[in-house]
Structure 1
């Protein structure tokens, strides 16, 4: 299940950049389609993450923190695309997104079912 979870968020990140670039180029129809597919991947990320949480969590704070950071990351992804669609500035959201994404990935790698890099 870990591989499915990692695959879904990697595909979601790719779809985020594709949707963002399509909104930037003015291709509203293509951007809307990829944005809707990305929303499907949000659901898959949440479902696989919840399954991992229930299966492996010892109900400690690190797992709960990882889950909260993951939901915040998804929220920031959606906010980035909506603000780009409305042609509002996204600079601050990009900074916040990158920081929260890095924290989420690093915490995920630190947990026992993650890869032991450090």
Structure 2
């Protein structure tokens, strides 16, 4: 499940970058298509993340449970920021605050997911 979650995130970030580039070039129709595909990928990200969190609840116990819940919430926050950045860009609104939140959530997710929790790189 971990590999599926990481693959979903990688695909999501790639599609996010492609949609950003297309919206900035004012290619509205292709950007909208990529954006809709990205919304489907969000579902995979959320479902696989929820299943990983469920695995922490069932198997690993209390020491990592708090960090797993924080990572889950930060992951949801990250998905919401990706969506809000694209929607704001499409409407021509400012995105500075959303980019700051995106960076903070991304750092939290990467640090907890890869370096702190048992299903990451170091455990």
TM score, norm. by length of structure 2: 0.90
Q: Could you list the per-position Cα deviations for residues 9-52 of structure 1 after superposition, in whole angstroms to 9, with x for gaps in the alignment? A: 01100111110111110111000000001000100001111111
Aligned length: 117
Q: Which among 112, 119, 122 is matched to residue 113 of structure 1? A: 119
In the alignment, what sits opposite 1:84?
89
**Which of 80, 88, 92 lines up with 1:75 in the alignment?**
80
Residue 63 (1) aligns with residue 68 (2): yes
Q: What's the secondary structure of 2:83's corresponding residue?
A: helix
Q: Deviations over 1:37-78 (max 9, x none)?
A: 100010000111111111233362111111100000000000
> Aligned ranges for residues 1-118 of structure 1 at < 5 Å?
1-57=1-57, 58=61, 60-109=65-114, 110-116=116-122
* TM-score of the superposed pair, with normalisation by structure 1: 0.94
* Unmatched tracts of structure 1, length 5 or more: none
- Provide the C-alpha distance between the structure 1 equivalents of 2:88 and 2:72, rounded to a whole number of angstroms: 24
Secondary structure of residue in 2 paired with 1:115 = coil
Give the whole-Å Cα distance in 1 for the aligned partners of 2:86 and 2:75: 17
- 1:92 shift after superposition: 2.1
